[in-house]
Amino acid sequence: MFSSVPEHVAIIMDGNGRWGKARGLTRSEGHYAGVQAMERVIDACIDIDIKILTLYAFSSENWSRPKAEVNYLMYLPVKFFNQKLPGFMKRNIKILVSGDITTIPDSTRKAITKAMDKTKNNTGLIVNIAFNYGGRNDILQAVRQMAEDVQNNHLELDNINEGLFENYLYTKALPDPEILIRTGGEKRISNFLLWQVSNAELYFTDVYFPDFNKEMLMEAIGSSEARHAIAE
């Protein structure tokens, strides 16, 4: 799979709410602690020379949570990018977003598009935030765009293949992740990168995301490698 360090790591950052509850804190405080962990993981990726980090921050199913929690999760990118953007510039980080940002609050969309715009020429770690992302929706919106291109004679039916299809996905230019990590103990994909993880290693850990750190990231990468070494 990957020789030493994977090029692209994807993480389902789960367990924020339970982390808060276990400490007598609120779920929102758990989400805030999750944001701090995000920064640690970003730094760890730079240290160990991972090129792309995709983080599942808000799923298309998360709208069904209580309104106050949804509001807080929509506000977090504003706070996150306000605080972190200067540091991201210094560290040459490029921000991308995968998901439908047309239906999120204006202030959230502005924070996200500003971060993408400011960092667009950076050449270091790519941090791809999956926000209002759903794997099925990703595939459907790609199909819709492709159908439109066929209808408008911009695309020939015979030219449709996997590589071309991938150009229509939210993750367009990115190679597939070699490893998908899920924290928080659940062994589910929860409508994350359905097409893109077709060949990825799946790694599940019980650790709640706010406690996830560099050692655990290295452990995840190392254990997948070791498994492959045994299988070969």
Query: Which among 62, 128, 138, 176 is annotated as catalytic?
Result: 62
171 binds, among Mg ion, ligand IPE, none (CB under 5 to 8 A by kind): none
Provide φ and ψ at 177, rounded to 5°.
Answer: -65, 140
Q: Which stretch binds ligand IPE (CB under 6 A): 10-18, 98-106, 143-151, 168-176?
A: 10-18
**H helices of 102-213, where?**
106-118, 135-151, 162-166
Residue 159 among the catalytic residues: no
How many other CB atoms are there within 10 angstroms of residue 49's CB atom? 10
Min dist CB 193 to ligand IPE, Å, is 12
Tokens of 105: 């609050």
Residues 152-181 binding ligand IPE (CB under 6 A) are: none
- Which listed residue (9, 14, 30, 81) binds Mg ion by CB under 5 A? 14
**H helices of 63-134, where?**
67-90, 106-118
- Which listed residue (9, 52, 73, 126) binds ligand IPE by CB under 6 A? 73
Q: Of 38 and 96, which has the nearer Cβ to Mg ion?
A: 38
Q: Which helix (H) or strand (E) holds 12?
A: strand 8-12
74 binds, among Mg ion, ligand IPE, none (CB under 5 to 8 A by kind): none
Min dist CB 29 to Mg ion, Å, is 15
17 is in an annotated binding site: yes
If phi over 0 gives left and psi between -120 and 50 gives alpha, with beta otherwise, what is residue 126? Answer: beta
73 binds, among ligand IPE, Mg ion, none (CB under 5 to 8 A by kind): ligand IPE
Q: Of 168 and 209, which has the nearer Cβ to ligand IPE?
A: 209
Residue 152 among the catalytic residues: no
If phi over 0 gives left and psi between -120 and 50 gives alpha, with beta otherwise, what is residue 218? Answer: alpha
Residues 33-62 binding ligand IPE (CB under 6 A) are: 56-59, 62
Query: Which residue, chain included where needed, has tokens 């509850």?
Result: 21
Pairing mode, if any, of strands 126-133 and 94-98? Answer: parallel
Q: Which residues are catalytic?
A: 14, 62
